[in-house]
Structure formats: structure tokens, C-alpha cells
Amino acid sequence: METLREGVDGLRRSRDALFQAPPIEWMEWGPTRLRTILVPATRRSAQILGTIRLEPSNGDLGGSNYLARAKIDPPAPLDPMPGAGA
């Protein structure tokens, strides 16, 4: 019976530790502050990238998808993805 009680107590403690909501002050302040940071960064990125075009492409795995094209293209990865055929 003691082992069962210890198990239940452990489950209750882990449940309480899983999620803790942020303080109400952060929830009121956070999204507004975050917006003041992201909006200028988005404008700057838009100036650098310019218009982004979507071009149809046949995917490597047989499906169709789109490639995003801009004034600049992102650099190619330095190392191939692990497990990718080379």
C-alpha cells in the first residue's frame, strides 16, 4: 500500500511541475513588447529580400511543391543532412 501511495504522490508532483502559466503581468505586457520587436525586424527583412515569388517545383519525393525565390537565396547547407543519400 505504501508503494502505491508513493507512486500516486510522485505522479501528482510531476503533474504540478509540467506546466506553469506565466504571470498575468507578462501575459499583458509580453505580446505588446514582442510586437514592437518583430515589426521593425520584419520591415528590414522585407527590404533586404524584396518580393518573394513562389515557383512550382516537382519535389524530390514525387510530390509537387513550391520554391520561394527572392533577391537573395539562402546559402546551401555546409554539411549534408544525416541519413540523406549523397
Q: Residue ranges per domain, the chain?
A: 23-69
11: left (phi over 0), alpha (psi -120 to 50) or beta: alpha
52 against 61, higher pLDDT: 52
Write down the pLDDT at residue 24. 84
Q: Name the residue among 57, 44, 39, 50 with its Cα closest to residue 72.
A: 50
32 against 85, higher pLDDT: 32
Question: pTM of the predicted model, to two decimals?
Answer: 0.33
Element (H, E) at 53: strand 53-58
Q: Please report, rounded to a whole number, the percentage of residues in the chain having pLDDT higher than 90.
A: 0
Write down the pLDDT at residue 82. 64
